[in-house]
Structure formats: structure tokens, C-alpha cells
Structure 1
Amino acid sequence: MEQDLPEYRSSALAWLGRTEEAKAEAQRAYETEQRRRWYRHNPNGADAVAAATKAAEAALERTAEYLLAMRLERLREQAAELCCEESATTTPTCCAASDQMGGCSGRNGNVPCGREALPALGVCARHRAQELAGEVA
């Protein structure tokens, strides 16, 4: 099962990259890049299109990572709720993870993040997406 995780993750990211939300974000990034000052004279030139395509691909990837982090969080919350329902209690041992909130434990360089942490994760959505992408140890 462990060896299948990267394949599942890449499959999920590919699927999430085809969602309307991801496509819309990629389109916004593409158009924003084409409107940059240095491309205004020729927004359909090769340089402008190449830069806009690169920006759109990066936005698509970022959005897919974010959507994956959000869906995984929802699944964790649902699993915690099921745990509580199955045990017919709401004891701290059962639901402590789903109620845990606070500041993000991640850091931006040497500075603490300061964003609100996602429930049960201890980090914000940005740092969670970085964890999933393997950018943070």
C-alpha cells in the first residue's frame, strides 16, 4: 500500500487539475501574465505566450495541490466524526484531533507562519500543500 501512495497522489492531482476551479485559475494566470507591461505591445507573441503558458501550468499545479489538501482534510474530519459515532462518545481521546485548532506550526524561513492551522493537522493550507508536494521535511 505504501508504495502505491505516490501513484494515487499523482492520479488525484491529475484529476483535480482538470476541475473547473483549476482551469479557471490557470486561465486567470495566463491572462494576467499576458497583460504584464513588457508583453502589452504584443500579447500574442511567442515570448508572451510561453510565459503565460508557464504561469498557467504553475497555477494549475498549485490549485490542484490546494484542492487535494482541502479534500484530504475533509476526509480526516469525516473519519473523526465516524470514529465518534461508532464509539457513541465524544471523549477527548476520540475527537481530540478533530477539535484541535491553533496557529500554524510551519515557518516562513526563520519566521513563524502565523496563519490559522487546519483542524487536526497543525499547519495551514499552504504548508500542508508544501508537505504534500515534498517541499517541506
Structure 2
Amino acid sequence: MMIIRTGIDMVDLSVLRRRVERSENDLLAAFLTQQELESVGGRIDRAGTRWAAKEATMKALGWGLDKLDPHQIEVHSDDGEAPQLRLHGDAGKRAAVLGLTQWTLSVSHTDNEAIASVVAIGEVHD
């Protein structure tokens, strides 16, 4: 039987910007992988889309920050390519348990908000 799980999340960029400034960027390092930090290049809109993508992925997995380290969900994008999700550690294991094998990610932002939508597809094996 085919299964589909979804997640969506929106981030208020002004709130994220204030939190990042107060933490002197420690917040971003706690939430983004080194590759993501390099890809973001200090842009809060890009950081916000990755933050939203991780939260949306957690929703699709049915787990939150209490069970997953955000570094286990990585948003990867090559120049000009659509962003892709890479799941590591417990996030990858949870996806396998749920039978999720294919992921799509869509992100967008305005000056004020970032949003991400995740769709996961798989099959349940009895």
C-alpha cells in the first residue's frame, strides 16, 4: 500500500533575525549543518527556508526537536537545482521505519517570511 506524509512550516524572518543576532549566530550553528551554513552565506532568508524545511520534515516524520537533532535533516541544493533533503541518523531510521523512500521539498520566502513544504512517499510492507 502506498503512503504519503506531508509537512509544512513557516518562519517569521524578523523573529529569526532577532534570535540569531542575540545568539551571535550560535543559533544557526545549532540548527544548520556546516554545508548549510556555507550555502546560506549569512542570508537570513536562506536560513529561514532551511529552518522551515527541517521543521516540515519533522512533521512528516511525526517527530519533533525532542526526538531529532536538526543536523540529521540536511537541505542540499546545487546551483540552479531544486533543494533536496538528506536524512541522517535517527531521521533516516525513522523514515525507513515509516517506509518513506522518496522526498520532495519546496521552499520560498518573502522579505518577512520563509515557508517550506515536504511530501514523503513510500510503501508499507506487511
What is the TM-score normalised by the length of structure 1?
0.28
Higher normalized contact order (CA 8 Å, seq sep 6+, divided by chain length): 2
What is the TM-score normalised by the length of structure 2?
0.30
Pick the structure with more helix per residue.
Answer: 1
